């Protein structure tokens, strides 16, 4: 009910699937509530009934059909999340205790670390515990491949409005792709408990136009 506004096609599909599943669960809840209420309130009894094959068949088939209606869009989404086709930019993200480092290996090895700005240094317009000293700059309407790993312990690179959550495992390179549909600033955080300062390693993605991104590359 309180998902962030989507800025990628994958997140839009995730929201649609959430609404689809929520509607089915709501219908099941209403039906079960009605049946239980009617059982408690009516005066119809049958003390001698032992079994009823028709009822048992019905309440076995109906849940199976409902699960199929939930499983099919879920499997489709899983395949879409794993698909990486013709990426234009590759961004490598490395999780540390307790900050993120980024590498634009396609562009002369541009690298930087991204630390959270302390609350005492926040400006009035900044978001508390979410602002960083170096934002990750990426162009929108561009297919981006994300490579995620960790240097020490388990982390998880997560940006809800992009529909992206990738585990960062030491010694392993995980891959995911995303496509931003509009400009903006999108916030995320580490979603894997990684130590005492786990709550203080935010992620900030700044989505800009391709021309502005090229200008940013030329100045770095």
Helix (H) or strand (E) holding 21: helix 9-41
Q: What does the pLDDT read at residue 150?
A: 93
Q: What does the pLDDT read at residue 114?
A: 92
Q: What does the pLDDT read at residue 157?
A: 93
> In angstroms, rounded to a whole number, what is the distance separating the alpha carbons of residues 4 and 15?
9
Residues 187, 204 contacting (CB under 8 angstroms): yes
Q: What is the mean pLDDT of each run of 10 residues along the chain (220 residues)?
A: 81 89 92 89 77 84 91 87 80 92 83 88 81 90 91 92 90 89 91 90 92 85
Residue by residue, DSSP assigns 167-190 as EE-BT--EEEEEE--S-EEEEEEE
Residue 63 three-state SS: helix
Distance of CA 156 to the CA centre of its chain: 11
Q: What does the pLDDT read at residue 80?
A: 81
> In angstroms, rounded to a whole number, what is the distance separating the alpha carbons of residues 95 and 134?
15
Name which of 3, 4, 48 is nearest 205 in CA terms. Answer: 4
Q: What does the pLDDT read at residue 206?
A: 92
Helix (H) or strand (E) holding 217: helix 210-218
Asked if residue 98 has a cis previous peptide bond (ω within 30° of 0), the answer is: yes
The pTM for the full model equals 0.79
Compute, in degrees rounded to 10, the torsion defined by CA atoms 82, 87, 90, 96. -20
Domains and CATH numbers, the chain: 9-82 (no CATH), 89-219 (2.60.40.420)
Please, what is the Cα angle at 51 between 48 and 56, to 5 degrees? 145
Burial status of residue 181 (CB atoms within 10 A of its CB: 0-12, 13-18, 19 or more)? middle
């Amino acid at each position: 009910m309180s998902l962030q506004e989507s800025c990628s096609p994958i997140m839009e599909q995730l929201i649609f699937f959430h609404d689809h599943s929520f509607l089915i669960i709501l219908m099941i809840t209403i039906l079960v509530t009605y049946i239980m209420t009617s059982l408690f309130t009516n005066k119809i009894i049958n003390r001698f009934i032992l079994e009823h094959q028709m009822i048992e068949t019905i309440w076995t088939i109906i849940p199976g059909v409902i699960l199929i209606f939930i499983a099919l869009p879920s499997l489709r989404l899983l395949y879409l999340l794993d698909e990486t086709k013709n990426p234009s930019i590759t961004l490598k993200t490395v999780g540390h205790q307790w900050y993120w480092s980024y590498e634009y290996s396609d562009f002369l090895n541009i690298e930087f670390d991204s630390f959270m700005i302390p609350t005492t240094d926040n400006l009035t317009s900044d978001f508390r515990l979410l602002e960083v000293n170096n934002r990750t700059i990426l162009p929108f309407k561009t297919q981006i491949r994300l490579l995620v790993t960790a240097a020490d312990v388990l982390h998880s690179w997560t940006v809800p409005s992009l529909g992206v959550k990738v585990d960062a495992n030491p010694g392993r390179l995980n891959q995911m792709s995303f496509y931003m549909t509009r400009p903006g600033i999108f916030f995320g955080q580490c979603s894997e408990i990684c130590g005492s300062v786990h709550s203080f390693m935010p992620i900030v993605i700044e989505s800009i136009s391709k021309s502005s991104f090229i200008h940013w590359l030329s100045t770095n």
